[in-house]
Structure 1
């Protein structure tokens, strides 16, 4: 039940929050992204009044970009505790990849952290505090950048991004900043002011402080007009996405991680570019410019479907576009580097003193090593004596490049690089980011390739228990 409103601003905010709450089950918990600014402070305060403190969870992300970041975290925790709300925070590092602005990198890191915190807690939805002024600024920015319909559609009131754990909702999207500030003043809410918001070197701040005030004088209804533009663009974009989904059915390979070169090039330019935009967006990439996508399609047409894309020079958001054996995909790294998997970021080494465990969960790899009893009599030859696993500490490591192994049982067979073995077996680059299993300092097992026979002893006890190692990604674990 919505509390009795005391003022017009109070009524507007409580009604907006109440509407979003009405779409959820009666006992559903809500996570609120709390930066400590006026907007998110208003959202949390109103959510507590309408839903009750027990149903709310305040989440804060510490970017470390400001000297005041620690103070902001402390303020947010105190603000939540004063209202009896559970509080959680996570610290992130903002990457500085070439071609990605600090704003975009911080936003991506923030949403990843928020989603991780939601996934580990029993919440039904994540509420964000963007409002009508934010929406108008976003549409203007996208217009000035020459964005397509997806950009002009700006911020949706409710959406579930690819890979996100919960739906994101913007209850205040139709309210003005001035209405939120009036609510905060009437409720005597204490908030913080990020000093970077006044820096007009950032495009959004320049619009907020220098452009939209002038628009408000000459075009008082510009916010509503831009909101309608966003709604029309969103409607048109849904139609383009429906077409892209149809095209993905014929062009998608490996669960959407790659596109068929033949199928992509069979479309005319407009349709192929629409498919590429949809593919990148649903894969979690930030939007690429029309010029970059157009250049990518031109280069793909030049090399032809049968050719290898070693000459492709398309970099975007820390990845390079590759073409390999009739597939088009994105690989971590730079296009000036050799097309291989070793550019992938290294993960922390995990160790296990094996004592007969049947599974070894590796969270950083999102998968599990399974140690299963082997049936040698049934012809299962790719097995390991149990004594080898106990010989030294097992470790799971990232590839660093140049690793070699021998897959042949013949003792005089030469070892070969993992890169060559992966290529020989047609394993695409994005599947080669797997943990290498070492026993001591010796490479023992590589997922998708098998056992390194150079590590096994020449003489084995036929009666000894043998083990088969299996690598299972999280999706395959029952």
Structure 2
């Protein structure tokens, strides 16, 4: 039940918080991102009044970017305790990598920390204190950066990121900063003033202090107009995403890890680029620039659907776009790696003295070797005598390059490189990062290729128990 409002600002804030609360299950806990600034102080204070302190959890992220960060942490904890609210905080390191703004790095670190704190406490709703002025500034920034519809859609009132467990909700998004400040003054709230908010070297601060005041004089309703622009852009983006999902149904291959070259190039440029953007989002990639995606599509058209695509070299977010045997996919690593080989990360060697175990779990490979009883009578020929598995310690190793095996049962058949065998069987590069199973120093089994016949004895006791080895990735294990 919403408390009786004392002033217009009080009523607006309490109604906004009450509406967001009404969409949640009864007694569901709410995490509030609490920086200690006026906006989050208003949100936490109002949430306690409407929902009750027991349902609220105040989460603070200590960035360490200000000399006052420790004092802010102490203030936030005291503010929460005064209201009987559980408080939690996490310290983060903000990346200073070249080409990444401090603002963006701090934002990414903050959201990761908030998500971790929500997940560890099993809280499924995270409230954020952004308001109408923040939304207007975001739309302006995206316009000035030449962003597409996804950027112009700005901040959604409610959404669940693909890699998160907590839904992010912005109860105050339609309220003005001035209304929140009026509420805070009337409630005699104490809040933090972050000195960095006055630094106009940051783009958002420059807009806030130098641009939007001038807009307010000549275009008093600009905040509402920009909010409508964001809503229109979000609606249009939803339609584009719906179209991309339809297109993906016809183009997607290999459980979402690749697109059909033919299907992708059958679309005109606008539709193909829309599909590629959406596909990259489903893979968890950061958005690529229009120029980079346009260049990728141009190269794909030049290669042609039947081409192997070894000349395709588009690097993005630690991956390289490749084309192989009619499939388009993203491969880990950059374009310095050869196109038909995965950039393999060496993993620690695991060893097992096999004594009849049915499974061998390999966490570093995210999978399991299964040792199953073979049915030779049913024609299962790709099997191994149990004595071979016991003759020496088994080890699972990374590929190092140049390994060879013989898949033919003919003793005089030549051995061949794993690279050649993978290519012959059409195994795409992203599937080749598999553990090689050795018995002693002999390569015995390779997932997707089978048993190395050269490691088996020439004479085998027909009555001996035989074993079939199966490699199962984690996602395939019940």
TM-score (norm 1): 0.81
Question: Structure 1 residue 228: deviation in Å?
Answer: 0.7
Residues 234-292 of structure 1, C-alpha deviations (whole Å, 9 max, x = no match) = 22222222222222222222233222111121122222222222222333222222222
Could you tell me how far 1:75 is from its partner in structure 2?
Answer: 6.1
Residue correspondence of structure 1 range 192-211 to structure 2 within 5 A: 196-211=196-211
Q: What is the root-mean-square deviation of aligned Cα atoms in Å?
A: 4.1
Q: 1:293 to 1:101 in 2, by over 3 A?
A: farther
Q: What is the deviation of 1:231?
A: 1.0
Inter-CA distance 307–6: structure 2 relative to 1 (3 Å threshold): same
**Cα drift, residue 230 of structure 1:** 0.7
Match of 1:132 in 2: 132
Q: Provide closer, same or farther for how the CA distance between residues 5 and 303 of structure 1 changes in structure 2, counting only shifts above 3 A.
A: same
Conserved in 2, the CA contact under 8 Å of 1:139 and 1:154? yes
Query: Bigger shift: 421-430 or 340-349?
Result: 340-349
- Distance apart, 1:375 and its partner CA: 4.5
Determine the structure 1 residue equivalent to 2:308.
Answer: 308
Question: Which residue pairs with 2:451 in the alignment?
Answer: 451
Distance 1:477 1:213, change over 3 A: farther
User: 2: CA distance between counterparts of 1:357 and 1:177?
Assistant: 65
Question: For 1:137-188, what per-residue CA distance to the aligned partner results, in whole angstroms no more than 9, with x for missing partners?
Answer: 1111111111222221111112233344343222221122333344445555
Q: Which moved more, 1:60-69 or 1:278-287?
A: 60-69
More displaced, 458-467 or 5-14?
458-467
Compare 103-112 and 202-211 and name the one that shifted more.
Answer: 103-112
- Structure 1's 107 and 406: CA in aligned 2 closer, same or farther, altered over 3 A? farther
Distance in 2 (CA, whole Å) between partners of 1:341 and 1:77 is 52
Moved more, 287-296 or 5-14: 5-14
| Distance in 2 of aligned mates of 1:151 and 1:269 | 20
Partners of 1:72 and 1:402 in 2: how far apart? 58
Cα deviation for residue 19 of structure 1 reads 1.0
Q: Distance in 1 between matches of 2:303 and 2:351?
A: 44
Can you list the C-alpha shifts for 1:86-108, whole angstroms capped at 9, x where unaligned? 55566666667776555445544
Deviation at 1:325, TM superposition (A): 1.2
Q: Deviations over 1:52-107 (max 9, x none)?
A: 34434444556666677677667656655555555556666666777655544554
SS at match of 1:31: strand
Q: Identify if the C-alpha distance between structure 1 residues 122 and 218 changes in structure 2 by more than 3 Å, giving closer, same or farther.
A: same
Q: Is the 8 A contact 1:132 1:175 kept in 2?
A: yes
Q: CA deviation at 1:452?
A: 5.7
| Contact 1:395 1:440 (8 Å CA) reproduced | yes
CA contact (8 A) 1:98 1:317 kept: no
Residues 476, 217 of structure 1: alpha-carbon distance in 2 compared, 3 angstrom cutoff:
same
Note closer, same or farther for the CA distance 1:345–1:84 as it changes in structure 2 (3 Å cut).
farther
Q: 2:37, 2:194 within 8 Å by CA — same for their partners in 1?
A: yes
Relative to structure 1, the CA distance from residue 431 to residue 96 in structure 2 (aligned partners, 3 Å threshold; closer, same or farther) is: farther
Query: Structure 1 residue 315: deviation in Å?
Result: 2.3
After TM superposition, the structure 1 stretch with the greater mean CA deviation from structure 2, 45-54 or 386-395, is 386-395
Deviates more, 1:236-245 or 1:29-38: 29-38
Task: Report the secondary structure of 1:123's partner residue.
Answer: coil
Q: 1:375 to 1:335 in 2, by over 3 A?
A: same
SS in 2 for 1:470: strand
- 1:477 is aligned to 477
Deviation of 1:418 (Å): 4.5
SS of the residue corresponding to residue 58 of structure 2 reads strand
My pick for the range that moved more, 425-434 or 254-263, is: 425-434
- Measured against aligned partners, the alpha-carbon deviations of 1:197-243 in whole angstroms (never above 9, x if no partner) come to 44444322332333223323332321111001111112222222222
Seen in structure 2, the aligned counterparts of structure 1 residues 267 and 405 have a Cα distance that, compared at 3 Å, is same
- Cα distance change, pair 351–94 in 1 and its aligned pair in 2 (3 A): farther
- 5+ unaligned residues in a row in structure 2: which ranges? none
Which of 287-296 and 158-167 deviates more? 158-167
Distance in 1 of aligned mates of 2:352 and 2:434: 17
Instruction: Specify the structure having the higher radius of gyration (Cα).
Output: 2
For the structure 1 residues 372 and 55, does the alpha-carbon distance in structure 2 shift closer, same or farther, using more than 3 Å as the test?
A: farther
Structure 2 CA distance for partners of 1:154 and 1:362, relative to 1, 3 Å = farther
Unaligned runs of 5+ in 1: none
Which stretch of the first structure deviates more once superposed, 80-89 or 307-316? 80-89
**Alpha-carbon contact 1:331-1:341 (below 8 Å) kept:** no
Q: C-alpha deviations, 1:378-399, integer Å up to 9, x for none?
A: 5545556677778888776666
Question: Cα gap change, 1:233/1:343 in structure 2, threshold over 3 Å: closer, same or farther?
Answer: same
Tell me which moved more, 352-361 or 268-277.
352-361
> Could you tell me how far 1:372 is from its partner in structure 2?
4.3
* Pair 274,211 (structure 1): closer, same or farther in 2 beyond 3 Å: same
SS of 2:469's partner is strand
SS at match of 1:220: coil
The CA distance in 1 between the partners of 2:247 and 2:326, in whole Å, is: 17
Change in CA separation of 1:418 and 1:232 when aligned onto 2, cut-off 3 Å: same
Give the distance between the partners of 1:70 and 1:457, measured in 2 at CA.
69
**Which SS does the other structure have where 1:162 is aligned?**
coil
Structure 1 22/256 Cα, relative in aligned 2: closer, same or farther at 3 Å?
A: same
Quote the offset at 1:26 in angstroms.
0.8
1:22, distance to aligned residue in structure 2 (A): 0.9
The change in CA–CA distance for 1:11 and 1:321 in structure 2 (over 3 A counts) is same
Q: 1:394 to 1:129 in 2, by over 3 A?
A: farther
- Indicate conservation of the 8 Å contact 2:42/2:184, yes or no: yes
